[in-house]
Amino acid sequence: MAKTEQLQQKLGDRLVLDPERIAHYAHDSSRAEPEGTALALVLAESTADVSAALAWANEAGVPVSVRGAGTGLVGGANAYPGGLIISLERMNRILELDAENRLATVEAGVITAELDAAARAQGLFFPPDPASARTSTVGGNIATNAGGLRCVAHGVTTDAVAGLEVVLADGRVMRTGARTRKNVVGLNLTSLMVGSEGTLGIITTATVRLKPVPPGIPRTFRASFASLQDAGRAVSLIVNGPAQPEVLELMDSWSVEIIESFHPSGLTAPGGAMLVGQTVGLDAQDKAEAITETCLGAGADDVEISESDSLLEARRLSNPALNARGLKISCDVGVPIAQLAEVFHGIDAISERHGLRVSTVAHAGDGNLHSTVESPDSREGIAAADAVIDEITRLALSLGGTISGEHGIGSVKRHELPWQQDAVTLDIQQSIKHALDPRGTLTPDRAI
């Protein structure tokens, strides 16, 4: 076992050796279990702490896992046996909010919703909006290039990141990017770090782009369909239509049932699916009307427009609602938008063939689906559910899709990587990993 004394001299009580406290930080929110007990936990309070911890671990040959709020869904932040956990949760200061340039610089451990609230106090907002925004951190969102509800309008997390401070495996500190909108200076190391899931460096601070809050009162809308495939077709029509939503989400009937039983609000979608979404701007009402018109034309049997947020709130609760039922065997596939109806059709067929119930919620506007399989909580049951997820994943790929839209790969999905990436791409990723982390200290054997 590596000697922690030297590190303790530098970090004092920011180095935790108590196994009970360590255990609390040893796993994320996925079904992946840590493979063993970590050696120690660093509750970093500064970039210097992270640098000292990484330099020590790199020298000592201790594998490092990195953790924001632990809301990850693919085992990416789970502890390694004998490893060091570096938590960024104490690095939670908003360092600067430059409203005139629409930039904020924050430490990695700032809760995403708190950054958004600080921006809104100045008439701005932080576009990334993962369903976990009230508990997840900006640094964690960046490390997984998180998605969320507003991607159809504002893109993903990487689109909001202007620059990063990153601690490399050997403890050196690198600064990437610029405060300008355009910057063609050397390689785009900012985008390389975003979504790298802790394999290339530890993000300690980020400069992010904010946007002005649109004027007017947002409208939410709902459209209920008797058929999931009709709802899929409606999404393609909406996204290619003149009235663009800021949010466009789908829940199938079983998802609605699961959410209703977790948090009753009167929603039903018997046998089919429900689209919910939001429009913003001074013409929010006009756009919501145009979109619900499109839905009626595509076969919706009931539509609704509202100034209340409760429809989206239901969608935001899908993850806790599924968790409350013990449903954790799910996917995060994406397809090109025009293939939505086809993928829904295929999921139905797969579910039927396997005799296992599948519930699907989707960030429909960007083609990102989360299907969850219900199965007995036995080894056989889990294997059967995994087989369904594998089939859905291969279906998405066959339609030009992706194995992960927003959760990342971590340990849970690593076996799927070669399904999507060819041997050259896999090799080049390892070459870059080796160039930046030759000893394999940072989040080894995950994500790439």
User: Are the beta carbons of 67 and 87 closer than 8 angstroms?
Assistant: yes
User: Are the beta carbons of 273 and 389 closer than 8 angstroms?
Assistant: no
Please choose, from the candidates 277, 149, 279, the residue with its C-alpha nearest in 3D space to the C-alpha of residue 223. 277
CB nearer to a copy of itself: give 24 or 175: 175
Output the smallest distance, CB 424 to a copy of itself, in A.
Answer: 4
Reported as half-sphere exposure (CB side, CA atoms, 13 A), residue 63 has a value of 19
Output the smallest distance, CB 260 to a copy of itself, in A.
Answer: 27
Angle between helices 340-354 and 379-398 (to 10 degrees): 150
Q: What is the dihedral of CA 145, 149, 152, 157, to 10 degrees?
A: -20
Output the smallest distance, CB 261 to a copy of itself, in A.
Answer: 29
Amino acid identity at 136: S
Q: Distances from the Cα of 290 to the Cαs of 221, 272, 302, in angstroms?
A: 11, 22, 14
CB nearer to a copy of itself: give 70 or 334: 334
CB nearer to a copy of itself: give 40 or 75: 75
Output the smallest distance, CB 159 to a copy of itself, in A.
Answer: 7
CB nearer to a copy of itself: give 27 or 446: 446
CB nearer to a copy of itself: give 5 or 100: 100
CB nearer to a copy of itself: give 40 or 124: 124
CB nearer to a copy of itself: give 107 or 366: 366
> Would you say the C-alpha torsion 29, 35, 36, 40 has a positive or negative sign?
negative
CB nearer to a copy of itself: give 43 or 340: 340
CB nearer to a copy of itself: give 236 or 351: 236
CB nearer to a copy of itself: give 16 or 149: 149
CB nearer to a copy of itself: give 1 or 184: 184
Residues 6+ apart with CB under 8 A from 20: none
Please choose, from the candidates 109, 108, 195, the residue with its C-alpha nearest in 3D space to the C-alpha of residue 144. 195
Output the smallest distance, CB 334 to a copy of itself, in A.
Answer: 4
Output the smallest distance, CB 282 to a copy of itself, in A.
Answer: 8
Output the smallest distance, CB 278 to a copy of itself, in A.
Answer: 17
Output the smallest distance, CB 220 to a copy of itself, in A.
Answer: 22
Output the smallest distance, CB 160 to a copy of itself, in A.
Answer: 11
The dihedral region occupied by 396, where left means phi > 0, alpha psi between -120 and 50, and beta the remainder, is alpha
Output the smallest distance, CB 417 to a copy of itself, in A.
Answer: 7
Output the smallest distance, CB 193 to a copy of itself, in A.
Answer: 9
* Count of CB atoms situated within 10 Å of the CB of 400: 12
